[in-house]
């Protein structure tokens, strides 16, 4: 699947959030003239929280980039073929957690894996695990604390495995592809 870039759209994509950033800056300027004290308090809160979560953000972005470099979608497809069921489920769990972008971008790869006899239960695990967003983990930790965030992520990961196994238990035997 081609990504949206200059070749497919005919125009340069660049940083898509620049308009939003400009809007936020203008909004803060407007709010500064309405209530300077509260605007400065808000900026201080933003800066303090950003500094708190920045190291985790950098780590998550680095690890995601390393994973995406060493494990492109085609390699993942090759690695999954012929593996025992439990390894396939664990791999789909990890792939779902680490995968970036919208889930529909993964549909062609997942369809290809399914056509090569990957169980639907493993796909269920991937889709469920996709709800864990590592890039948003620093923000979650900032709001809810480390203990809650980590326990919650572990709970979702275990539930992803459980959902995949339940699907396989009840639906794989009678399934026609």
- The total domain count for the chain is 2
Which residue reads 């980039």 in tokens? 65
If asked whether residues 99 and 39 sit together in one domain, one would say no
Look at residue 161 in the predicted model and tell me its pLDDT.
Answer: 95
Residues 131 and 95 in one domain: yes
Clarify whether residues 102 and 75 are in a common domain.
yes
Q: How confident is the model at residue 9, as a pLDDT?
A: 46
Per-residue pLDDT of the chain (177 residues; tens, 9 = 90+): 444 444 444 455 566 678 888 998 999 999 999 999 999 999 999 888 888 878 877 876 787 677 778 777 677 667 766 777 888 899 889 888 887 777 777 787 778 778 777 889 989 999 999 999 887 888 888 889 889 999 999 999 999 999 999 999 988 765 554
Domain shared by 96 and 28, yes or no? no
Q: Is residue 132 a part of any domain in this protein?
A: yes
83 and 153 assigned to the same domain: yes
Q: What is the pTM of this model?
A: 0.58
Could you tell me the residue range of the domain that residue 20 belongs to? 13-53
Instruction: Give phi and psi for 168, each to the nearest 5.
Output: -60, -40
pLDDT score of 37: 94
DSSP 125-171: HHHHHTT--GGGHHHHHHHH-HHHHHHHHHHHHHHHHHHHHHHIIII
**147 plus 103 within the same structural domain:** yes
How far is residue 76's CA from residue 135's CA, in Å, rounded to a whole number?
21
Give yes or no: residues 96 and 123 share one domain: yes
Same domain, 91 and 46: no
> What pLDDT is attached to residue 177?
47
Question: Rounded to whole angstroms, what are the CA distances from 91 to 67, 75, 87, 126?
Answer: 13, 12, 6, 9
pLDDT of res. 17 = 79
Q: How far apart, in whole angstroms, are the C-alpha atoms of residue 147 and residue 19?
A: 36
Residue 118 domain-assigned? Answer: yes
Residue 136: name the closest of 147, 126, 127, 144 by CA.
Answer: 144
Q: What is the pLDDT of residue 3?
A: 44
Rounded Cα–Cα distance for residues 57 and 151 (Å): 19
**Would you say residue 62 lies in a domain?**
no
> Which tokens in the block code for residue 55?
């190291």
Shared-domain flag, residues 81 and 143 = yes
pLDDT value at residue 136: 84
């Amino acid at each position: 699947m081609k990504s949206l870039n200059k070749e497919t759209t005919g125009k340069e994509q660049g940083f898509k959030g620049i308009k939003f950033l400009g809007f936020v800056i203008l909004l803060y300027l407007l709010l500064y003239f309405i209530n300077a004290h509260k605007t400065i308090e808000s900026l201080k809160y933003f800066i303090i929280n950003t500094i708190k979560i920045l190291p985790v953000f950098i780590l998550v972005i680095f690890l995601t980039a390393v994973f995406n470099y060493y494990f492109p979608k085609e390699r993942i497809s090759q690695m999954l073929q012929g593996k025992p069921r439990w390894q396939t489920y664990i791999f789909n769990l990890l792939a779902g957690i680490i995968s970036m972008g919208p889930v529909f971008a993964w549909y062609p790869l997942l369809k290809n894996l399914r056509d090569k006899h990957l169980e639907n239960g493993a796909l269920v695990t991937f889709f469920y695990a996709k709800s864990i967003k590592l890039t948003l983990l620093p923000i979650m930790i900032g709001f809810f604390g480390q203990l809650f965030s980590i326990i919650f992520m572990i709970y979702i990961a275990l539930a992803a495995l459980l959902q995949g196994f339940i699907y396989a238990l009840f639906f794989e035997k009678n399934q026609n592809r």
